[in-house]
């Protein structure tokens, strides 16, 4: 093996969870390593020293197919395994060795639709690593990576940034993954310690509301930072409170102590914070285990199916 392509198109958390595979392939095989993703996720990968070249698409693999054909890959590691990767495999005429992870789609359907749990107690990272076992690559147990380029210091917006502060990542792509705003305000008010709210532009208004009603110890940075700048805030935090989101996995890459809050998804789906062998006890999960409608989806929903709060 001289040249390998790794594929993961989205999203933030899933791409961060591929970093042990990238690191182990590079360090254990010494190959030239390329990565294919969606353009919006380039900031997650551009500074990774284990990746030699990144290809990106807006929507279709046809955008990069001629370039990928010219690379002459010895192997493709498919960590997405969807219609796009099938199109790519056909477009490459089945020439490279093709390795893919087990998505456990049937087991996930049984759990979300029928509440029958046949999922193995295996983290997604270890299933990703299983895809490269035929190459003799082993998990080094070092956890996740998050590499950052140069950026302005976002901690200038944090009151007393040298003092310990808590980061609360209030966002999530789906409403059923998130605490109600009133509950977040209640938590922030009760804590009292300096809290920094993180989220995207969609959470900017909610962040202002939470900060205004929780007290002067809460600072809202939602919608004000880039992904890399948000990561810098996570890196400096003494504790991270987060929903089941990409911020949770970036915090795990920094080996932070995490309080993870679970709504309609659940840790049993295999995407809880991953710390590697040495730091496996830094996460505390909060969920409602006896809520019979959970999990109603493997990723989340805009509204709870039964009209009840799942967090």
pLDDT for residue 307: 43
Looking at the chain, how many residues does it have? 311
Q: By three-state DSSP, how is residue 104 classified? A: coil
Domains and their CATH numbers in the chain: 3-135 (3.40.50.2000), 154-286 (3.40.50.2000)
Query: Does position 157 have pLDDT exceeding 80, yes or no?
Result: no
Answer whether residue 305 shows pLDDT above 60.
Answer: no
Residue burial 30-47, b: 16+ Cβ < 10 Å; e: rest: ebbbbbbbbeebeebbee
The two structure tokens encoding residue 285: 């999960």
What is the model's pLDDT at position 280?
76
- 89-98: long-range contacts (C-beta < 8 A, 24 or more apart)? 91/61, 91/62, 91/65, 92/65, 92/68, 96/5
Other beta carbons less than 10 A from residue 86's beta carbon: 12
| Residue pLDDT, tens place only, 25-49 | 999 999 999 999 999 999 999 999 9
- pLDDT tens-digit series, residues 172-219: 888 889 999 999 999 999 998 999 999 999 999 999 999 999 999 999
pLDDT tens digit string along 218-239?
999 999 998 998 998 999 999 9
User: 3-class SS at 284?
Assistant: strand
User: What's the mean pLDDT when you consider all of the chain?
Assistant: 91
DSSP structure class, residue 111: I
Neighbouring residues of 307: CB distance < 8 A, sequence distance ≥ 6: none
Of the candidates 15, 266, 48, the one whose C-alpha atom is nearest the C-alpha of residue 125 is 15
- 310 pLDDT above the threshold of 60: no
**Single pTM value for the model:** 0.93
């Amino acid at each position: 093996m001289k040249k390998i392509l790794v594929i993961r198109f989205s999203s933030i958390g899933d791409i961060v969870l591929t970093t042990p595979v990238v690191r182990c392939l590079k360090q254990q095989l010494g190959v030239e390593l390329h990565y294919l993703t969606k353009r919006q996720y380039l900031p997650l990968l551009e500074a990774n020293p284990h990746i030699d070249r990144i290809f990106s698409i807006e929507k279709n693999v046809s955008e990069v197919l001629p370039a990928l054909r010219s690379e002459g890959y010895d192997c493709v590691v498919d960590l997405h395994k969807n219609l796009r990767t099938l199109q790519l495999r056909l477009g490459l005429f089945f020439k490279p060795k093709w390795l893919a992870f087990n998505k456990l789609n049937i087991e996930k359907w049984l759990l979300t639709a029928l509440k029958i749990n046949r999922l193995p107690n295996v983290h997604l990272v270890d299933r990703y690593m299983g895809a490269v076992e035929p190459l003799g690559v082993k998990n080094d147990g070092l956890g996740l990576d998050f590499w950052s380029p140069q950026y302005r210091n976002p901690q200038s917006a944090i009151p007393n940034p040298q003092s310990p502060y808590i980061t609360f990542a209030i966002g999530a792509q789906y409403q059923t993954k998130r605490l109600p705003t009133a509950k977040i305000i209640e938590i922030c008010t009760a804590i009292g310690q300096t809290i920094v709210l993180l989220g995207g532009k969609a959470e900017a208004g909610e962040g202002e509301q939470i900060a205004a009603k929780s007290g002067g110890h809460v600072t809202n940075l939602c919608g004000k930072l880039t992904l890399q700048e948000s990561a810098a805030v996570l890196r400096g935090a003494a504790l991270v409170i987060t929903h089941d989101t990409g911020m949770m996995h970036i915090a795990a890459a920094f080996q932070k102590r995490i309080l993870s809050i679970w709504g309609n998804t659940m840790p049993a789906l295999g995407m809880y914070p991953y710390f590697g062998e040495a730091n496996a006890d830094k996460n505390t999960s909060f969920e409602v285990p006896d809520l019979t409608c959970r999990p109603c989806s493997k990723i989340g929903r805009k509204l709870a199916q039964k009209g009840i709060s799942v967090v």
